[in-house]
Amino acid sequence: MKIIFSDEYLLVLDKPAGLPVLPDGWEKDAPYLVKRLEDEVGKIWIVHRLDKTTSGVMVFARSAEAHRALSLQFENRKAEKTYHAILEAPPQWDEKTAKFPLRTNIGKKHRTVADSRNGKPSETRFKILKRYQSSALVEAQPMTERTHQIRVHAYALGHPLLGDILYGASETGLISRPALHAYSLTVTHPATQERLTFKVEHPEDFVSALKRLDV
């Protein structure tokens, strides 16, 4: 867990994969990100979330006022988020926008499903960054905020994320989690109004998977 920016308004973090943001419903005593952060820096406010298995950049507010300002940016789509993902099979397209409506928290595994009748409007923009023989590295920009959105949209397009067993991927020895990384985040500073972009490079397991795909 690495803090990459901090002032009296914001805290920006490089979140490791495998650490939940909040307590897991099944393992209430297991470590979680917010507690570890608050033990280190004091009170923080959650602005957005990443899945337990997702690595990468996260922003937290350090005051109630900053929390309101940042939350509005996310609600009004003023925060720009870019993820990198490894797809299980290389698509034919170079760019694709997925607009499958999504319904969340389905069944015992709390899956998200594409549901044109009862789902909420959802949009993710995909762009190929590099093709491999059996996979592809893509940029994914979620334009809405739905649980597991990128993962489900990739699956609905016929290209599940490498390692994402919950959403249709095959067993793999390349990576032990869904290959999804929050690469960059752009927000407006709540006090200075400066537009700030924070980037976090790929973690070791993601880099290792890409290297093995490149052989």
Report residue 30's pLDDT band, with 50, 70 and 90 as the boundaries.
low
pLDDT tens per residue across span 188-200: 999 999 999 999 9
**Average model confidence (pLDDT) across the chain:** 93
Per-residue burial over 140-158, b = 16 or more CB atoms within 10 Å of its CB, e = otherwise: bbbbeebebbbbbbbbbbe
- Name every residue whose Cβ is closer than 8 Å to that of residue 28 and which is 6 or more positions away in sequence: none
- The parent domain of residue 189 ranges over 2-213
The arithmetic mean of pLDDT across residues 122-151, rounded, is 96
Report residue 22's pLDDT band, with 50, 70 and 90 as the boundaries.
confident
Report the alpha-carbon distance of residue 56 to residue 14 in Å, rounded. 5
CATH code of 109's domain:
3.30.2350.10
Residue 141: in which H helix or E strand, if any? strand 136-142
The arithmetic mean of pLDDT across residues 119-142, rounded, is 97
Which of 20, 2, 21, 24 has its CA nearest to residue 11?
Answer: 2
Report residue 43's pLDDT band, with 50, 70 and 90 as the boundaries.
very high
The arithmetic mean of pLDDT across residues 97-120, rounded, is 90
Say yes or no to pLDDT of 114 above 60. Answer: yes
Q: Is 7 a catalytic residue?
A: no
pTM of the model: 0.93
Percentage of residues of the chain with pLDDT beyond 70? 96
Indicate the number of domains in the chain: 1
Catalytic residue among 51, 94, 115, 214: 51
Report the alpha-carbon distance of residue 200 to residue 183 in Å, rounded. 5
Which of 108, 111, 2 has its CA nearest to residue 51?
Answer: 111
Query: What residue spans of 23-140 are helical by DSSP H?
Result: 33-41, 64-75
The arithmetic mean of pLDDT across residues 44-73, rounded, is 96
167-to-58, 95, 152, 211 alpha-carbon distances in Å? 24, 21, 7, 24
**Biggest distance spanned by C-alpha atoms of the chain:** 50
